[in-house]
Amino acid sequence: MPRFASSPLAFPDFKGATRRLILINLGTYFAFLLLGLAWSAGTPTLVAGLCFDPALFLRGALWEPLTYSFVHLGILRTLLELLSLWFLAGFLEGFHSSNWVMSLYAVSVLGTALAALALYAISSTMAPALLGMPIPLAGCFGGIFGMLAVIGLLHGDMQFMLFPLPIGIKARYLVIIYALVAFALLFGDARMLAFSQLGGGVAGLLYARMAPRRGASFAMSERWYGLRNRYYRWKRRRAARKFEVYMKKQGRTVHFDGQGRLIDEDSEDKKRWN
């Protein structure tokens, strides 16, 4: 887990998207713990149904790409993931909006699942040995790697420290090391896990290159309001045309501009002569 070189013991502020992501993941982890205490026989089935399994997804478990990142197995793994998520999301939130960070996390998580699904589809049709050991995806590692890749892209010269070693390294080199480790794992049994992690990083990079600065949700809301306003303007122009026809039948002539607003000809004449 990387840390700032200038203040190795300091974490970013716990606010905004960082706080929401940590609390949601932490809440689901303790919820599964409580379920394990109350219904120990039924909990493994519930957890397995929420992890991302490409075979189950193709059979109709369409919710798995949205739920697998909230399933955390093991307290040490959960601790490392949430601490990394806190640091990376908090770092990015210092330069970008909360909506942008949340959208980056969501795109990276979905890109991780999409990469695993693509590898499963290719291996099942062309090379069955390519898949290796089919391990269901669980945890937010894809979102973490996507954020790390974006930091290496946008803030590559930022100096980090490799925890727990007191060794400073630039962000871009840290991303390259993580990517090379994931690439090396492609030649082992956990190649689906490694390939999906690389997919999360690629999805994060694509988002950073193509997404608007204020986040995908803000852009979608702006597009929605733009469509709504265009629709209202079209209705106003249509009503203006109908009103012109009606007034013509009454022996009067009125004119409207391109926005459907009434043109006051008397005031125009006054302006012309004054």
**What's the CA gap between 96 and 77, in Å, rounded?**
28
- Both 36 and 153 in one domain: the answer is yes
Residues 138, 263 share a domain: no
At residue 10, the pLDDT reads: 66
Measured distance CA(247)–CA(258) in Å, rounded = 18
Residues 192 and 73 in one domain: yes
Total domain count, the chain = 2
pLDDT at 133: 65
Read off the CATH number of the domain in which 42 is found.
1.20.1540.10
Query: Could you write out the DSSP letters of every residue in 143-159?
Result: HHHHHHHHHHHHSTT-E
Tell whether 255 and 188 lie within a shared domain.
no
What is the spatial distance between Cα 233 and Cα 111, in angstroms, rounded to a whole number? 38
Same domain, 188 and 230: no
Same domain, 69 and 135: yes
Q: DSSP label at 28? A: H
Query: What percent helix, strand, coil does the chain show, rounded to 5?
Result: 70, 5, 25
Residues 193, 255, single domain; the answer is: no
Question: Which of 214, 229, 245 represents a domain boundary (last residue)?
Answer: 214
Vertex 264 angle, CA 259 and 236, to 5°: 25
- Where would I find the H helices in 136-215? 141-154, 171-185, 191-210
Residue 59 and residue 21 share a domain: yes
Q: Residue 3 has what pLDDT?
A: 43
Mean pLDDT by 10 residues, the chain (274 residues): 46 88 92 68 65 89 91 88 92 90 94 92 72 78 94 88 72 90 85 90 92 60 72 79 78 74 58 45
pLDDT of residue 259: 66
Same domain, 269 and 179: no
- Asked if residue 80 and residue 56 are part of one domain, the reply reads yes
Q: In the structure encoding, which two tokens stand for residue 164, read together?
A: 């727990």
For strand 2-4 and strand 167-170, is the pairing parallel, antiparallel, or unpaired?
unpaired
Containing structural domain, residue 261: 220-273
Q: Is the torsion defined by CA of 145, 181, 127, 67 positive or negative?
A: negative
Separation of alpha carbons 225 and 148, rounded Å: 33
pLDDT at 218: 57
Closest by CA to 155, choosing from 91, 86, 98, 90, is 91
Determine the pLDDT at residue 4. 44
Q: Clarify whether residues 182 and 266 are in a common domain.
A: no
Which one of 196, 214, 232 terminates a domain?
214
Residues 49 and 106 in one domain: yes
